[in-house]
Chains A and B, each alone.
Chain A
């Protein structure tokens, strides 16, 4: 929630109808939900300029989430790669272990202002589900989490956490049982329970105003990087790298820098088994624009417009779409979108753990993988920031399995 100045700023979006660049985003939902989105937009428009809301949010971000998160100079990683100076933005240190809490704390405060008492959310890796269940416990609200059945089995510790926190976790067996199916089911729940329910979307996707709202809540990441880098180096970073599923951690760290042309912004999509393997989650690089889950954006889809199943080793990136603002930034060339494979992410996972003593989430490991690829070619005065969006404890079982270790 930073100031947006300058007529030609890239930070004005979306327009009043929720479109980025006149093409992406929007509001593609059934009529039953349209009035709810209008209400949500009105509540959000009021809250974001209300100093009391800002004060309340700041309080929870500081004393509950634990912000600001440090910007860590990764000395051994920098030395080992022998190129750019690498900083890690430590979002994994937030309460619940990822950047997800930045958004859910903001949205639950809004839900309370709107008088809602029941929260529904979708989750992939379970990070957003855990974050949502956490704030529901904090405020004593009823919490229902939809999670694909496949994800329920590969993220068992997070399922247990959500239940401990008092949430009802509903496994979704439709489709491949991953994030997109959980999103469908959460939307169905919302439309059937509109009187008391707030749909707490976990990423910068969905119908307007969600992409804008989630971005604004996550922009605290980039705002802090800006200040912290000024303090550490007296200037802006040169390159920022972040992993992308739906794209909320990337949007949060990119957005405050959109108008700083000198800052290269790189989003790393999950290439899965390889960009051309047919088993990826790289929506921008291997998809085309279409409409799903309330917005127009790049989607993995077949020639008939049926949505493909995404694939990634990381449950949090296993989604066939991407936030609409990323689609726009890709089209205008302001941000670059690249891929890292399952194997590259696994290698980066162990590399980061060994060099910095930080176990990153498999999602974040995709960003590290790409940084690792480009850092050696860059000069030592290049300042490269990698967003460590979450911690990897939840992925220990998956990684052990791939390393052939029995726990």
Chain B
């Protein structure tokens, strides 16, 4: 059983959903993002998404765009990201790590080499935002042998017919994009989320997590109860950004502020 499947099974036994924070590689620098990554499980992360910085993140809002640019300015590359993952895995063999980003840097690295290196470093799954199932054949040839889950986004606009196609190419879990929009902007109402879930549940046995627009502990708790998990990205990155100095360098409060917010989110998700 994969790390992702094991983690969701354990959470089911605990009777709660997952909290999935997001960290952008090398934002604001390699050491700080690694320190955050390493401390996140203890602060309440059940799975972690690591952003692969891209120059043109066209599905992301201003907060993740800025984080990606800080990461690139600090020299983020996929090779460095794999270094981060390896360093994390020296202490933590259990927390699933998901890479999220855009196709071009992956294509540039080479699909086969990317999957092999990601898997060897200790990555568990991939979310490639701009690669729909129709275009994913060439990459999927290598994700499966490497044991990497292909996590698919499902949107409110996804039709029932399309849902089948997308799910045929999904493994690990399914990521429900709760709004039609970009990351970190508006939020879906609890009613909308409740209404959306039965359709997904009927179509798949995979765990379903909700992302886009989840900011507060209350929203995270609701989403993690309606579904099997909640992703919080922009809210954490906004906190991180606020702690940086005028030159976008970390300060003494950078790591502690993000972790403190994560703890608040975790407390809400774990509350009975």
**Which residues in chain A, 304-353, are within 8 Å of chain B measured between CB atoms?**
304-307
Closest chain B residue to A294 by CB distance?
Answer: B130
Are B155 and A291 in contact (CB-based, < 8 A)? no
Closest chain B residue to A184 by CB distance?
Answer: B58
Are A28 and B130 in contact (CB-based, < 8 A)? yes
Closest chain B residue to A36 by CB distance?
Answer: B157
Does B253 touch A at the CB level, under 8 Å? no
Q: How far is the CB of A19 from chain B (nearest CB, A)?
A: 9
Are B130 and A194 in contact (CB-based, < 8 A)? no
- Known contacts A305-B104, A307-B104; decide if A35 and B72 are in contact (CB<8 Å): no
Complex CA–CA separation, A26 to B61 (angstroms): 24
Are B58 and A305 in contact (CB-based, < 8 A)? no
- Known contacts A26-B135, A291-B104, A305-B108; decide if A32 and B180 are in contact (CB<8 Å): yes
Complex CA–CA separation, A403 to B212 (angstroms): 51
Among B60, B107, B177, the residue within 8 A (CB) of A31 is B177
Does B181 touch A at the CB level, under 8 Å? yes
Among A31, A187, A191, A304, the residue within 8 A (CB) of B78 is A304
Q: Mark B83-112, 1 if CB is under 8 A from A, else 0.
A: 000000000000000000011111111000
Closest chain A residue to B177 by CB distance?
Answer: A32
Q: In the assembled complex, which residues on chain A have CB atoms less than 8 Å from the CB atom of B156?
A: 32
Stretch at the interface among B7-15, B28-36, B158-166, B257-265: B158-166
Q: How far is the CB of B169 from chain A (nearest CB, A)?
A: 11
Main secondary structure, interface of B, reads loop
Are B72 and A306 in contact (CB-based, < 8 A)? yes
Size range of the interface on B?
35 or more
- Known contacts A26-B135, A27-B134, A191-B59; decide if A301 and B180 are in contact (CB<8 Å): no
Among A28, A31, A38, A183, the residue within 8 A (CB) of B153 is A31
Q: How far is the CB of B74 from chain A (nearest CB, A)?
A: 13
Are B157 and A305 in contact (CB-based, < 8 A)? no
Are B108 and A290 in contact (CB-based, < 8 A)? yes
Q: In the assembled complex, which residues on chain A have CB atoms less than 8 Å from the CB atom of B72?
A: 306
Complex CA–CA separation, A192 to B156 (angstroms): 12
Size range of the interface on A?
35 or more
Among B56, B59, B132, the residue within 8 A (CB) of A292 is B56
21 contacts across the A-B interface (CB closer than 8 A): A28-B103, A31-B155, A31-B158, A31-B166, A31-B177, A32-B59, A32-B181, A34-B132, A35-B162, A184-B57, A191-B180, A191-B182, A192-B181, A192-B185, A290-B107, A291-B107, A292-B104, A293-B58, A304-B108, A306-B104, A307-B104
The 8 closest A-B pairs by CB, nearest first: A305-B108, A305-B105, A192-B181, A32-B155, A30-B59, A184-B58, A306-B55, A31-B153
Given contacts A30-B155, A292-B104, A301-B108, 11 further A-B contacts (CB under 8 A): A28-B132, A30-B59, A31-B132, A32-B156, A175-B56, A191-B180, A290-B104, A291-B102, A299-B104, A301-B104, A307-B55
Q: Chain B interface (Cβ within 8 Å of chain A)? A: 54-61, 65, 72, 77-78, 102-109, 129-132, 134-135, 152-159, 162, 166, 177, 180-182, 185
